[in-house]
């Protein structure tokens, strides 16, 4: 059970810090109000960094169903293990979103903009065009998963593969703080360059879990949860991960 618990904790940390920085920027009367896009993208990159170095030596720190699916498609992980990872990631994302709401509850109560409130939970398009929004998520996730699969640094490869790398001693699976930094920088780069269209979910759990929490939490001015868009940040990242696994296989031949 340790790898599944680690995925739960890692994904919860990811969402606590990632959605936490969005809440700090968008909610009323926070110290970081109107901090801007650079603050948000850097915060998300550092959220990935913290989550990865905390749990990589236990589960490999996938913290993202798209990464897990990509590793399965690349033959680096068994489906039987992957299902448990995805469930843990979803639950962890929901719990992380709950913690953000608890932490910023006073600020949620005075924020009247429903779109700003929803953005602290899940993503949404800058221009609503489901086809192009889907493509944006495919491309962004392709970059993420392709980089993970093509990593030449052994520690990064081991961290992505997690328990699937059965012949690697458990102690070698951990990235440590310095080894986790490239993963955070990768997400930072994706956010800066490719995040402007959809908010770069690139992670089905990161979007769907908090969207569920947005729907159920008692926030008086939250508005609707935009379920008509919810399929995009789920299907797009999965498609991007499968494409990345296919492309990586070409280089492995």
Predicted confidence (pLDDT) per residue in 30-58, tens digit: 999 999 999 999 999 999 999 999 999 99
**The token pair that represents 56 in the structure block:** 């990589």
Q: pLDDT tens digit string along 79-106? A: 999 999 999 999 999 999 999 999 999 9
Task: Give the C-alpha separation, 213 to 201, whole Å.
Answer: 16
| pLDDT for position 65 | 98
Whether 184 and 49 have beta carbons less than 8 Å apart is answered as yes
User: What's the mean pLDDT in 214-231?
Assistant: 97
| pLDDT higher than threshold 90 for residue 212 | yes
What 3-state class would DSSP assign to 190?
helix
Distance CA 199, CA 64 (A): 16
State the DSSP code for 169. -
- Angstrom CA distances, 91 to 56, 69, 85, 208, 226, stand at 18, 17, 10, 10, 20
Mean pLDDT of the chain: 91
Question: 175-209, pLDDT tens digit by residue?
Answer: 556 678 999 999 999 999 999 999 999 999 999 99
Return d(Cα 225, Cα 41) in angstroms, integer: 23
End-to-end CA distance of the chain: 35
pTM: 0.91
State how many domains the chain has.
Answer: 1
Helices (H) and strands (E) in the chain, counts: 11, 0
Domain of residue 40, residue span? 2-252
pLDDT of residue 203: 98
Q: How far is the C-alpha of 60 from the C-alpha of 170, rounded, in Å?
A: 10
Give percent above pLDDT 90 in the chain: 86
d(C-alpha 162, C-alpha 159), whole Å: 5
CATH number reported for the structural domain that contains residue 212 in this entry: 1.20.1080.10
Q: What b/e string do you get for 36-75 counting C-beta neighbours within 10 Å, with b at 16 or more?
A: eeeebbbbbbbbbbbbbbbbbbbbbbbbbbbbbbbbbbbe
Please, which residues have CB within 8 angstroms of residue 193's CB and are 6 or more apart in sequence?
Answer: none
52 to 56, 59, 65, 249: CA distances (angstroms)? 5, 10, 14, 25
Region 149-176: mean pLDDT is: 45
């Amino acid at each position: 059970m340790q790898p599944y618990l680690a995925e739960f904790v890692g994904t919860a940390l990811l969402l606590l810090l990632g959605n936490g920085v969005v809440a700090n920027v968008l909610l009323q009367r926070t110290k970081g109000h109107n901090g801007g896009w650079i603050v948000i993208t850097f915060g998300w990159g550092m959220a990935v960094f913290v989550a990865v170095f905390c749990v990589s030596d236990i589960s490999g720190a996938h913290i993202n169903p798209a990464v897990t699916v990509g590793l399965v498609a690349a033959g680096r992980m068994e489906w039987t293990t992957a299902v448990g990872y995805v469930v843990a990631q979803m639950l962890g994302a929901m719990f992380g979103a709950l913690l953000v709401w608890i932490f910023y509850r006073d600020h949620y109560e005075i924020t009247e903009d429903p779109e700003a409130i929803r953005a602290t939970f899940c993503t949404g398009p800058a221009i609503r065009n489901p086809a192009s929004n889907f493509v944006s998520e495919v491309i962004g996730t392709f970059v993420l998963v392709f980089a993970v699969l093509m990593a030449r640094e052994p520690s990064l490869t081991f961290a992505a593969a997690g328990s699937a790398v059965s012949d690697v001693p458990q102690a070698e699976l951990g990235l440590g703080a310095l080894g986790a930094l490239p993963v955070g920088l990768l997400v930072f780069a994706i956010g800066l360059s490719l995040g402007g269209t959809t908010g770069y979910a690139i992670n089905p759990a990161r979007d769907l879990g908090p969207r569920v929490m947005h729907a159920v939490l008692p926030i008086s001015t939250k508005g609707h949860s935009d379920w008509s868009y919810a399929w995009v940040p789920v299907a797009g990242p999965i498609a991007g991960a499968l494409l990345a696994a296919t492309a990586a296989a070409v280089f492995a031949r």
